[in-house]
Amino acid sequence: MEQARRKSDLERAETSREKTGVYTGLNAFHPTTGQEIPIWTSDFVLLSYGTGAIMAVPAHDERDHEFALQYGLPIVPVIIPEDGWDFPTEAYTGLDGITENSGPIDGLAAREAILAAITYLEEIGLGERAVSYHLRDWIFSRQHYWGEPIPMIYCENCGWNPVPEDQLPVLLPEVQAYKPTDTGESPLANITEWVNTTCPSCGGPARRETDTMPNWAGSNWYFLRYTDPRNDQTLASMEKLDYWMPVDVYIGGDEHNTLHLLYSRFIYQFLHDIGAVPANIPEPYAKRLSHGVILGPDGFRMSKTRGNIIVPEEYIERVGADALRCYLMFIGPFDATMAWNERALMGIKRFLDRLERFVDANAKTTQRTGQKARAAINRLVRQVDEDTAAFKFNTSLAKMMEALNTLEDLTQPVHPNELRDFLTVLSPYAPFLAQANWEKLGLEGDVGLTHWPSYDPELEVDEGVEMAVQVNGKLRGTIHVERDAPEKTVRAAAEAVESVARHLEGKQLVKVILVPNRTINYVVKGE
């Protein structure tokens, strides 16, 4: 316990180290169920988070899950995803599912259950809803020459004064070298001709503030400047701000999104209050998305220390840029953290190679494409449209694989007119391959600049069926395939489902049991 007490929040937050703890011998009572809950002391709980004591939920928090596994604590799921989940193996951290083991809010959609739980606690007098902010001091300790200069002037007689408005903005001096100082001050402190100035109050000698703002500062408003970058009169014209703002989608990692968007929204709200941005646009971002993290093959964050860094250039040389690009989109949901898997990468490479061979075989075809093939490509256009707009790039690629399987199974020629549509929807995912095959079809211009194909509902022939996908008899997902689809097509669709792929990873396949149009069951064993 003494060792845990001495650890900083930074050390406690480190995800890769082993977590330690000790049972205190004390129990608490759950305020709504009365259930006894053991109280542990651990070195991964942040002292600055809330009161420094947490209710651990191992089934739904990665750090709690690791701790529970290490000490044999119960892992009780309270949110059950639609496709099921292997809770003893991995925590489910999403909010898409139905509540369970949750007393009065059992059976609700998880997102609804949050509000229902707050309402219930208010009704029984155990709490009330509130908004809390976990703000930290804005760190200005990192001093760069290129940071934004702070517009303040210090005079021995008058003290601090703001730079007069008619002298704004304060521009950085143009210099040949900007070496750091020996005093810890900004490199600007060495540029005396810039530092020494005149006091705006008394006219006497004065010095500019040499500290600069961190890189976060400039990134708080740059997106506004993008709307009108050559305007030398104001930040941006109201007309252009009104046309372009708000930002449609902002994408970044969790930390960047949390910190940067918090600060930038604060600055934007200030600009909104003083009328520097349109009154009818109170928020800077319409939508925010956090991308996931790709771990090394060993399941840990990539680092030189671990020697698990993936070098993109090496894989581009081996499999091509398109295969690497598609794999990064196919590896899992946009916001998921996934380990690098070379076998899955080679699966993507094989798909692209098959597609190229299919184009080669049909490039000179003059026969009209059959109805089923036209329907398959027409359906693909709709599916890629929907999935791409929803940032479901992995399922979009899975639909392309299904479509190619269907076309190959039909063993009928496909006219270049239909192949054109396939290559067009492929082009955002595999631009080089799409362009090369575009030219094989004798098409002119850039596939990436052509009109996006439109979906024709009249071509849709609903011959599909929903099939259950099982691993060792347990339901792990569902797929939609054409009625009487061959096993190869069914397997490709099933293995593209994330919850299925996760339970097949590292296992030895014993056999596959296919009940046409109903179920497919993978019998596996071992690791």
**Residues 94-129: tens digit of each pLDDT:** 888 899 998 889 999 998 999 999 999 999 999 899
What's the pLDDT at 261?
Answer: 82
Rounded to whole angstroms, how far apart are CA atoms 188 and 180?
Answer: 8
Q: What backbone torsions phi and psi does residue 285 show, to the nearest 5 degrees?
A: -125, 130
- Name the stretches of the chain with pLDDT < 70: 1-18, 46-50, 134-139, 181, 184, 215, 461-463, 527
What's the pLDDT at 12?
Answer: 46
Rounded to whole angstroms, how far apart are CA atoms 70 and 380?
Answer: 46
Domain 294-459 has CATH 3.40.50.1820: no
Place of tokens 């899992």: 332
Which of 59, 57, 68, 88 lies closest to 19 in space, CA to CA?
Answer: 68
Tokens of 423: 């290559």
**Residues 349-370: tens digit of each pLDDT:** 999 999 999 999 999 888 888 8
Rounded to whole angstroms, how far apart are CA atoms 184 and 190?
Answer: 11
For the chain, which residues make up each domain, given as ranges? 2-123, 148-213, 217-290, 294-459, 464-525
Class of domain 2-123: alpha beta
SS3 129: coil
Which of 114, 127, 34 lies closest to 79 in space, CA to CA?
Answer: 114
Determine how β-strand 474-482 pairs with β-strand 464-471: antiparallel
Which of 329, 343, 346, 453 lies closest to 398 in space, CA to CA?
Answer: 329
Burial 350-383, CB ≥16 within 10 A → b, else e:
ebbeebeebbeebeebeeebbeebbbbbbbbbbb
Rounded to whole angstroms, how far apart are CA atoms 491 and 497?
Answer: 10
Rounded to whole angstroms, how far apart are CA atoms 513 and 471?
Answer: 10
Supply the CATH classification number for the domain 464-525.
Answer: 3.10.20.590
What's the pLDDT at 277?
Answer: 97
What's the pLDDT at 147?
Answer: 81
The overall average pLDDT reported for the chain is 88
Instruction: Tell me if 2-123 shares its fold with 294-459.
Output: no
